[in-house]
Chains A and B, each alone.
Chain A
Amino acid sequence: MESTLTPQQIFRKRAAGEPLNEGETPQIRRHIINVTLDNSIGALNRVANLFCQRGFNLESVAVGKTDDTSLSRMTLVTAGTTRKVEQVLLQLENLVDTVEVDDVTDLEFVERELCLLKVRYTSKNRSEVMDILDIFKGRVVDITPETMTIEVTGPTKKINAFVGMMEPFGIDELHRSGRVAMRRALVHGS
């Protein structure tokens, strides 16, 4: 098929990150975007609405206060082709409430996610659960004779691994906060 494309069509497809040949799938990447927005009524709504309105994918959102009381900060995780994600960023910037939009995916950043997990245990496997918990530096925050509720924080991959380790015991309830991310402040060798 490639031979039938004009040089301009090839240029456009390359720029859009689309495959040149039929049958190939476009490259989808996950992006982590920090959005600083005015703490005004409806600002959060407008951001969330944008994803629905434009058909963008939204994997997780975490939002909260910042050091400046007039601002909130939000970490969004979205996935898409380069072109789609560019649209996400531009449309976010177009919102009147957004003060800053920062795609940190390709930068040095730290990320954390909080996970609360209620797992079933018995007297036989309790120490096994506790050993795993120790490896993941988790804490028990609530306990009954049948279940314990565990708090674990860390990068998303760590949480995924922890949840995977808990599955065989029987997970009663799982609640994840979504990622929050922050650029690293590089001081040495940057």
Chain B
Amino acid sequence: MSEYSLENLDTPSGDGLPASASSSIVSQETVSQETMTGAEIFVRALDAQGVKYVFGHPGGAVIKIYDEIARIQPRFKHILVRHEQGGTHMAEGYAKATGRVGTVLVTSGPGATNTVTGIADAYMDSVPIVVFTGQVPTHLIGNDAFQETDIIGVTRSITKHSFQVKRVQDLTRTIKEAYHIAKTGRPGPVVVDLPKDILFAEDTFRYPEGVALRGYSTQVNIVETQIALAARMISESKKPLLYVGGGTLNSDAAEELTAFARKTKIPVTTTLHGLSSFPENDPLSLGMLGMHGTWYANQAVQNCDLIIAVGARFDDRVTGKLDAWAPHARVVHIDIDPSCISKNIPVECPILGNVKDVLDMLGPLVEEKDTAEWLGQIDVWREECPLAYEKDDRLRAQGVIEKLREKTDGNAVVVSDVGQHQMWTAQYFKYVHPRSHITSGGLGTMGFCLPAAIGAAFGLRLEGRDDVPVISISGDGGFVMNAQEMSVAAAHRLPIKIIVINNRFLGMVRQWQELFHENRYSHTDLTDTNPDFVKLAEANHVVGLRASTPKELDEAIEKAWSINDGPVLIECQVEKEEMVFPMVPAGAATGDMITERFSHDHDV
């Protein structure tokens, strides 16, 4: 089968919604008495599971599945990715934008190992994805056969769980369990390894209705006395602070959180993944905390007398030096993962449970608080040291982000890569809609952004929210790491606005070299080696634009927003040596923030 005909299958028709039932010959049946191959069972199982998109790449070990996709035309759409890593990030972006489980299908050996970075990323950031990997036939496993890799072994410490299907009779049950595990509890990646002979073996089809996993329970009984304790701690506090992480978005609790904060008048600071769970135009919002958080958020942390951690994990980029973090705060911690609670900081009031359920129970028990004095203090800090950068006629990355915010009024899904631009995107966009900010946080995967934006765009298309623009914001270093996926965006006419913040440097590493390594810019200058991004875009059937002044940026944005039937890339040639401030140096106490450039002899 040629790649071409697969691509044709994927070409969007009309609104690009998933193939309608009438164009599919696969019925919604979950039981069939006729025997069929494992590959057909696999394809039917994904339909029965309700999968809408599969991000995949064919190869020898999974060729039978691709054959069945062509033959029976399932209801899900297969998206041909150009590199398996791109496929995993697409699945992540899709999952983060919609709350659904992302699906990846790759072949054995290199196909499988190429997914490793994406799996690790999903593991660190609790993203529900299921990765199906091909495998050599069972009788060849362990023989160093062609394209054989022990992918279960390779991914053991970066998956929530993994399966190798040894009998065709176990196939549907395994698929059901994989999706269940990926989605429930603290979400995460699941790998399902499919030996080739299983895909050729025959069986009848039966998709199970439920799962029976005796070692895995999703039942959480929220302890009422803990809720009461939390309510009491809140009423006793004078200077409370909500510290909100990605778990809030994972449990779709942004609305509950916002109502809770507004009722109690408790200020809110969010982690990188917590961004967009609380509207940043609300006076209670302090923006992000931590290494590149706002000065006032970190001041609030260091001075508050109560921290209510909501779906957050006290990551080292948030806390800096643990011993010195929030020295006066009693801590309430709400999380779904028991191993997260008291892992880094022992907490006085742990509450195990889904954020949404816990807030539903806690909300009615807390009174409206008078936090005026505390909020007044925070406002003083806000004025003392606001987020700021030099504003002149030169194009700066922060200005690009603010311009995009102004253009969209916050009504966009913003996907960022890793590095300086990521921090500016976190600081300056001011998110107001839940799930409108997607990035690679825990693993810090350069190259994440573009494929994740593609996955998010498919997610919005599925939900009929095509009018919400997806903005992919990368640096020049990270963008080239998965630039090949531009052709996927072009093939499916996804109207993604691809912004490349080009400072001709690996900027964040450069920043550390300037601050901590005496300006030795070892291998971070890309001036002579960067591609021509406009030409790169055009070579991938993407409209390419360039801006090097604020005025050119305005024009480029106007033009980009007038194109709605495909992706547009804007290369923003920005100031070379801009720094992300404020900053808590790695391992330093949160109170010790650097707020501006200093000379080298400064005592760090």
Q: Does residue A9 face the partner (Cβ distance < 8 Å to B)?
A: yes
- Complex interface: chain B residues within 8 A of A11 (CB): 346, 348
**CB distance A91 to B339 under 8 Å?**
yes
Specify the main secondary structure of chain B where it touches its partner: loop
**CB distance B339 to A94 under 8 Å?**
yes
Q: Does residue B14 face the partner (Cβ distance < 8 Å to A)?
A: no
Which listed segment binds A: B208-216, B251-259, B516-524, B551-559? B208-216
- Complex interface: chain A residues within 8 A of B215 (CB): 37-38, 95-99
Q: Does residue B157 face the partner (Cβ distance < 8 Å to A)?
A: yes
- Complex interface: chain A residues within 8 A of B323 (CB): 9
B454 shortest CB reach to chain A, Å: 30
Q: Does residue A137 face the partner (Cβ distance < 8 Å to B)?
A: no
Q: Which positions 155-191 of chain B face chain A at CB distance < 8 Å?
A: 156-157, 160-162, 164, 166, 181
A19 shortest CB reach to chain B, Å: 12
Interface centre among B160, B164, B216, B330 (most CB of A within 10 A): B216
Q: Does residue B329 face the partner (Cβ distance < 8 Å to A)?
A: yes
**CB distance A41 to B164 under 8 Å?**
yes
Range class of the A interface residue count? 20 to 34
**CB distance B346 to A9 under 8 Å?**
no
Q: Does residue B345 face the partner (Cβ distance < 8 Å to A)?
A: yes
- Complex interface: chain B residues within 8 A of A83 (CB): 342, 346
**CB distance B346 to A49 under 8 Å?**
no
Q: Does residue B338 face the partner (Cβ distance < 8 Å to A)?
A: yes
Bound complex: CA A46 to CA B166 (Å): 18
- Complex interface: chain A residues within 8 A of B327 (CB): 6, 8-9
- Complex interface: chain B residues within 8 A of A87 (CB): 339, 343
Interface centre among A8, A42, A98 (most CB of B within 10 A): A8
Mark A144-177 against chain B: 1 for CB-CB distance below 8 A, else 0: 0000000000000000000000000000000000
- Complex interface: chain B residues within 8 A of A46 (CB): 156
Within the complex, which residue of B164, B216, B343 is in contact with A96, where a contact is CB–CB below 8 Å? B216
Decide: A96 near B156, CB < 8 A? Known: A8-B327, A15-B342.
Answer: no
**CB distance A86 to B156 under 8 Å?**
no
Q: Which positions 313-336 of chain B face chain A at CB distance < 8 Å?
A: 323, 326-330
Decide: A96 near B161, CB < 8 A? Known: A9-B327, A83-B346.
Answer: yes
Bound complex: CA A45 to CA B326 (Å): 39
Within the complex, which residue of A12, A37, A49, A96 is in contact with B160, where a contact is CB–CB below 8 Å? A96
Q: Does residue A143 face the partner (Cβ distance < 8 Å to B)?
A: no
A100 shortest CB reach to chain B, Å: 8
Bound complex: CA A49 to CA B215 (Å): 18
Bound complex: CA A37 to CA B214 (Å): 10
- Complex interface: chain B residues within 8 A of A8 (CB): 326-330
Decide: A93 near B338, CB < 8 A? Known: A8-B328, A38-B214, A45-B156.
Answer: yes
- Complex interface: chain B residues within 8 A of A37 (CB): 215
Q: Does residue B337 face the partner (Cβ distance < 8 Å to A)?
A: yes
Q: Does residue A53 face the partner (Cβ distance < 8 Å to B)?
A: yes
Bound complex: CA A45 to CA B157 (Å): 10
- Complex interface: chain B residues within 8 A of A90 (CB): 338-339
Bound complex: CA A99 to CA B213 (Å): 9
Q: Does residue B228 face the partner (Cβ distance < 8 Å to A)?
A: no
- Complex interface: chain B residues within 8 A of A42 (CB): 152, 156, 162, 164
Q: Does residue B153 face the partner (Cβ distance < 8 Å to A)?
A: yes
- Complex interface: chain A residues within 8 A of B343 (CB): 87
- Complex interface: chain B residues within 8 A of A140 (CB): none
**CB distance A12 to B216 under 8 Å?**
no
Mark B115-155 against chain A: 1 for CB-CB distance below 8 A, else 0: 00000000000000000000000000000000000001100
- Complex interface: chain A residues within 8 A of B214 (CB): 38, 99
The residue on B at minimum CB distance from A50 is B157
**CB distance A41 to B166 under 8 Å?**
yes
Mark B342-358 against chain A: 1 for CB-CB distance below 8 A, else 0: 11011010000000000
Q: Does residue A16 face the partner (Cβ distance < 8 Å to B)?
A: yes
Interface centre among A42, A93, A95 (most CB of B within 10 A): A42
Q: Which positions 73-96 of chain A face chain B at CB distance < 8 Å?
A: 83, 86-87, 90-91, 93-96
- Complex interface: chain B residues within 8 A of A12 (CB): 345-346
Bound complex: CA A15 to CA B338 (Å): 16
Bound complex: CA A119 to CA B160 (Å): 47
- Complex interface: chain B residues within 8 A of A38 (CB): 214-215
B350 shortest CB reach to chain A, Å: 11
* A–B complex contacts, Cβ < 8 Å, 5 sampled: A8-B327, A87-B343, A91-B339, A95-B161, A96-B161
Question: 15 more A-B contacts (CB under 8 A) besides A49-B157, A96-B215?
Answer: A6-B328, A8-B326, A8-B329, A9-B323, A11-B346, A15-B346, A45-B156, A52-B157, A53-B156, A83-B346, A87-B339, A91-B339, A94-B337, A96-B213, A96-B216
Q: Which 10 A-B pairs have the closest CB atoms?
A: A15-B346, A90-B339, A53-B157, A96-B161, A6-B327, A99-B215, A96-B216, A12-B346, A49-B156, A16-B346
